[in-house]
Each structure stands twice: as C-alpha cells, then as structure tokens.
Amino acid sequence: QQREELQRQLTLFKDSEQMEKSFDASLSAFQRLCVHEISDSLGLRHVSSGRKPNRFITVSKEPQVPVAAAAPASAAAAARAR
C-alpha cells in the first residue's frame, strides 16, 4: 500500500510542471528504496542526501528540449559530414 502511494505521487510529479520533488527524512528505508525503484521506472533522476536519521531523497526531471531546437544542430552536423 505504501508503494502504491509513492507510485501515485511520483506519477503525478512526472506529469506536472514541477521540476523537483523532495521526500523528507520521515520515509523508512523500504520507502526510500521504493522511491528509487519507481523513479528509475519513470525515467526520473533521484538522489539521496544526508545521513540517518536525516536522510532524504530528491527526485527531478531532465529539462525538456524542444525537438525543433535540436533539429538545426543535427542538420548542420549532417551537412558537414557530406
């Protein structure tokens, strides 16, 4: 049941405009493990910081790069390769 709630929170975070979410030191070791595993499955970055009993996790997203912005660089590289 705890894992399902963490899955729900992380999925909502992934679908939101928010770029970073912190989980405080009140999480158990099992809950922290779940956050790491779920974050991996959702393609989110996750970092543990601090020492017990103040260990916490920060989850973040990669900034989105518009496809149109990346295309000119790719086209230029292809032109140089010819």
Burial (Cβ within 10 Å: 0-12, 13-18, ≥19) of residue 25? middle
What's the pLDDT score for residue 6?
97
Phi first, then psi, for residue 23 (nearest 5°) are: -110, 125
* pTM given for the model: 0.73
What's the pLDDT score for residue 44?
96
Pairwise CA distance, residues 21 & 77, whole Å: 37
- Banded model confidence at residue 10, pLDDT cuts 50, 70, 90: very high
Kindly tell me the number of DSSP H helices and DSSP E strands found in the chain. Answer: 3, 3
Q: Which residues of 61-79 are buried (b: 16+ CB within 10 A; e: fewer)?
A: beeeeeeeeeeeeeeeeee
